Structure 1
């Protein structure tokens, strides 16, 4: 007991004296392949797409294997999401790598606060009804628990897209904190700077619960993300953080895609590992959310803020990047119209499917969630899950109408994968995700008219 008290006291002192340092990283690949075939009343339904499936192996060798799989445990200061479609790819195509990643996670202290959960599919949550938000967040947390053996305390929102409603949904399924960029919070108390002392703040949700917000420094994150030379020299980089963020008391937490370190810039995985290895020698304390949330000083002096509704780290225009309503990444007018049509069609389809299921099969969400979790690895890796879905629904007393609606719901959720809208250039292959799913749902549900 005395040893624990001494340890707690040392943590309190370190948190009070040293600014926090760390990398909040998003490890993600979209579903590169999708394939489902199922016959209904003698008519074959087939939906598929394929988007550069071989690239995942390349990125695994450059990023995931050296950073997550060739370590005894995850390095202090790294907070990382390992998204469901990526986990499915690794399990099916790189099982040895996934086994080593899982072992490294298992060996990581306070792993529940280090590896973040996700909503199973990489969709823009504020654009969904709250019932879908909560269903996906709950399913994603269960899928994560099945993969790693514990329930995560933190959640990485797709594209960090946030709203107050999303935070209510996240809190309701058990999440305690989410990372956001500092540009995504507002109503900061007068005189409070979101600096190294206030880079973990709190939002009070509509139902009077609290969600902690772990803030990434937008300026520093952008600098590292888009300036290749910034990651040439680890010691020089940390000296710069000591002279800049530490000296001025600014937030030194960076937030970016993990693929930045090794894929977007070859060899930068060594830079990432090195800065995390030497951070304490430059006067920083590695971020540890369990320690922060349990620290008496933090609990006593919380900084309360609000979130900027409908913002993300890649679009500040009311999420217009995913509705065709803004110019992020400079889309042509034709591409913007296509994005708008995709969003409108999938939203209307989702509303129709939800209403049909609510009316004809009340209480369907629990069964659907379990099915989605069961078939997630097939769904995200291009394995035909149609016959298994058919068998499982029928064995539980379901009929063809329910199977069609469940399959249409899966196709809509996959179709809403954010990558289908992200890029502005014409003819991006990722647009085959929403376009193929829209065709699939039209084929499944001819009674639905857009």
Structure 2
């Protein structure tokens, strides 16, 4: 029977943004108001696609669906590892979607694997290509509990060796752009037909025969519709999106056909606002279509094995019409944000990275052979250390698998360092380093940071000095930013000052300890920390701490103990000192004396001040100080409130500062009312009117956040206390008060929970129909709450 099937593929991916020394993503100013780009894109795209809204004709939420369960999607390891630590609910929803899709698609999951950290495979050497494939497969299997059927090639950059390594690893198919096909023929025939991106039939899978005798299937996506989704207006209407896909089938087709597209997954919500909703509506429309079915690549391939074979165009990609020049030359491809900028810096950056890669690889092989029984197997298996967050248990299990004898402490430390050098040497090849417009942009800076970490470890462990050659090559990388004319200047300004060796990490640990915070080196799992703080003083804004920090790098084996002191007299008055352990009682005595700021320079060999702090450290400390600002303002208002009231009563114009104080105090009062659940809307209205009459206006973002938190707390309480209508009754009051100030409420999670309560609503309607007065009160409260949240109430009729 002929089948007409549709598959939508989303390549969901973010590069490694973690600090190579600490293992956590630092604050990124360009992602504001969010902490970093991973967080921002998660809010705009990854999370919404786990709970995409489908609206009815009245604009109410009719249903919430997990888009990942119906589409095909790339499960990129660098993204999933971040989600697992920082947004576990989103991560678990993505894993659950793959399990759900297996039930929907005859045992074939919607997720496919990805080369581990998104390097341009044709530009890599074979050992790194192998690592990318093997680590990508093992990461996938560890997360999804099954072997992947397909694998995404970063930027769809393809060569036969990479395809062969994928096939060797058990991968059945990949996805390419149609212009990457060179010739096709029907299996069993002798004549090849030259094809172009326009002439290739993309509605069938092809088999690509590989030099080893292996084979792999290739799906070539529909480029026209993919372009309309990514860069056109097709996502402005989900129904039109579905119609466009259906229109792509051959009229009166005589064989089964697959219409499929591929775009960046971030298109659905990040690049295109509400793209997740358009996708959800499109999928629903396709599911209800009589003559079309949704599928994923694995299911279609199993039902429709290739009848044709293909010869691919090697060293081509989906995002560079010049092949793969975007990642090694000045081909003219750019983001378009800076017309006239040159990308001549790309070639020297590629050369600098290649110098490090090619110098390190043979020395690593020699060193591994001295310690390990089977170095190749161990390198393949080292992804287990990353997945295990370098825990002591993961390290012990790894060593027991790959060493026949008892390794000395020195060999254990050396082995971990060698493995970390190799990991960093792969991360420094990530495609984003060359994709954008200038060597001073974050993607390029990040790959240079990884290179610096690999270079430093290679110097320590392999006695290999690569920094001079690397730096001199970067001198040839001419940038466009007048503040960083060359890659060498980027290195001097953005890389060298931000190296986190063990003493620098110890300084950061002391700074964080002043505020009772856990340091990123610990939260990432890359370091084991032991802290002792026998002397501590907190007196208002004055904070002092003196003690010892013991650090052990779980990832690289480095270890050290440091006497550390820190004092804080304000965000711009910070002094931190670090020493090798000496136990000098005089330092302790001086630090506790009248001039601790003078004691640190006198007694410690390494000094850091506010100017040395990273943006992440400043961000962490500033967040801790925000409540103090509010308390200070409220204190001033309380001290002067009687005078301010007198001035108002007498009709004397208020000074600007007094108006600001009143606006802030009023906002704090309104925030408190939200936090109480708005028990008296009349009081809220009266205060809101007073505050709105002031100049400046109330603190809208803070008020919106307070209202949103209370609404979410109320709906969670309703879910936890399923017979109690009181939490539900709060919600319309809070929403009503928020509307008085036109607050931009974030109701995403509250709406999700409200939808999940629909089943209980149906049950309570049944109880209410049988005369249960308490159930009837709950039903009415749910209806009002759902309405205020914009959720349609369905089912549950009483009677």
- When the two structures are superposed, what TM-score results if normalisation uses the length of structure 1? 0.82
Alignment-derived partner of residue 195 in structure 1: 201
Q: Any conservation in 1 of the 2:72–2:297 contact (CA below 8 Å)?
A: no
Give the 5 Å matches for 1:138-217: 138-189=134-185, 190=193, 194-195=200-201, 197-198=203-204, 200-217=205-222
Give the 5 Å matches for 1:258-269: 258-269=265-276
Residues 232, 72 of structure 1: alpha-carbon distance in 2 compared, 3 angstrom cutoff: closer
Give the secondary-structure state (helix, strand or coil) at the position aligned to 1:445.
helix
1:438 aligned to which of 451, 466, 469? 451
Alignment-derived partner of residue 111 in structure 2: 115
Residues 62, 246 of structure 1: alpha-carbon distance in 2 compared, 3 angstrom cutoff: farther
Give the 5 Å matches for 1:54-69: 54-68=36-50
Alignment-derived partner of residue 326 in structure 1: 331
**1:282 CA drift (Å):** 6.7
Q: What CA distance in whole angstroms lies between the structure 2 residues aligned with 1:22 and 1:269?
A: 16
Residues 210, 62 of structure 1: alpha-carbon distance in 2 compared, 3 angstrom cutoff: same
Q: What CA distance in whole angstroms lies between the structure 2 residues aligned with 1:333 and 1:444?
A: 38
Give the secondary-structure state (helix, strand or coil) at the position aligned to 1:188.
strand
Alignment-derived partner of residue 344 in structure 1: 351
Q: Any conservation in 2 of the 1:238–1:275 contact (CA below 8 Å)?
A: yes
Give the gaps of 5 or more residues in structure 2: 53-63, 186-192, 470-799
Name which structure has the greater RCO, CA cutoff 8 Å, separation 6+: 1
**1:149 CA drift (Å):** 0.9
Matched, 1:365 2:360: no
Give the secondary-structure state (helix, strand or coil) at the position aligned to 1:373.
helix
Give the 5 Å matches for 1:183-262: 183-189=179-185, 190=193, 194-195=200-201, 197-198=203-204, 200-227=205-232, 229-247=233-251, 252-262=259-269
Alignment-derived partner of residue 106 in structure 1: 99
Alignment-derived partner of residue 9 in structure 1: none
Residues 168, 243 of structure 1: alpha-carbon distance in 2 compared, 3 angstrom cutoff: closer
Q: Any conservation in 1 of the 2:175–2:219 contact (CA below 8 Å)?
A: yes
Q: What CA distance in whole angstroms lies between the structure 1 residues aligned with 2:263 and 2:243?
A: 21
> May I ask how many residue pairs the two structures share in their alignment?
416
After superposition, what is the alpha-carbon deviation per residue over 1:351-392, rounded to whole angstroms, capped at 9, x for unaligned? 2222112223233233233333322586xxxxxx69999997
Q: Any conservation in 1 of the 2:360–2:458 contact (CA below 8 Å)?
A: no
Q: What CA distance in whole angstroms lies between the structure 2 residues aligned with 1:443 and 1:196?
A: 48
Q: What CA distance in whole angstroms lies between the structure 2 residues aligned with 1:371 and 1:207?
A: 26
Give the 5 Å matches for 1:251-290: 252-280=259-287, 281=289, 283-290=291-298
Which is higher, the Rg of structure 1 or of structure 2? 2
**1:74 CA drift (Å):** 5.3
Decide which moves more: 313-322 or 285-294.
285-294
Q: Any conservation in 1 of the 2:341–2:437 contact (CA below 8 Å)?
A: no
Q: What CA distance in whole angstroms lies between the structure 1 residues aligned with 2:178 and 2:109?
A: 20
**1:25 CA drift (Å):** 0.8
Q: What CA distance in whole angstroms lies between the structure 2 residues aligned with 1:138 and 1:82?
A: 14
Q: Any conservation in 2 of the 1:155–1:177 contact (CA below 8 Å)?
A: yes
**1:221 CA drift (Å):** 0.9
Q: What CA distance in whole angstroms lies between the structure 1 residues aligned with 2:138 and 2:208?
A: 25
Q: Any conservation in 2 of the 1:25–1:80 contact (CA below 8 Å)?
A: yes
**1:91 CA drift (Å):** 0.8
2:88 aligned to which of 95, 120, 141? 95
Give the gaps of 5 or more residues in structure 1: 1-12, 38-45, 379-384
Decide which moves more: 62-71 or 259-268.
62-71
**1:61 CA drift (Å):** 2.7
1:409 aligned to which of 422, 426, 443? 422
**1:414 CA drift (Å):** 1.2
1:354 aligned to which of 354, 357, 361? 361
Matched, 1:294 2:302: yes
2:314 aligned to which of 285, 309, 314? 309
Q: What CA distance in whole angstroms lies between the structure 2 residues aligned with 1:191 and 1:434?
A: 39
Alignment-derived partner of residue 481 in structure 2: none
Q: What CA distance in whole angstroms lies between the structure 2 residues aligned with 1:328 and 1:445?
A: 34
Aligned-residue RMSD, C-alpha: 3.3
Alignment-derived partner of residue 10 in structure 1: none
Q: What CA distance in whole angstroms lies between the structure 1 residues aligned with 2:383 and 2:69?
A: 33
Q: Any conservation in 1 of the 2:27–2:36 contact (CA below 8 Å)?
A: no
Residues 410, 123 of structure 1: alpha-carbon distance in 2 compared, 3 angstrom cutoff: same
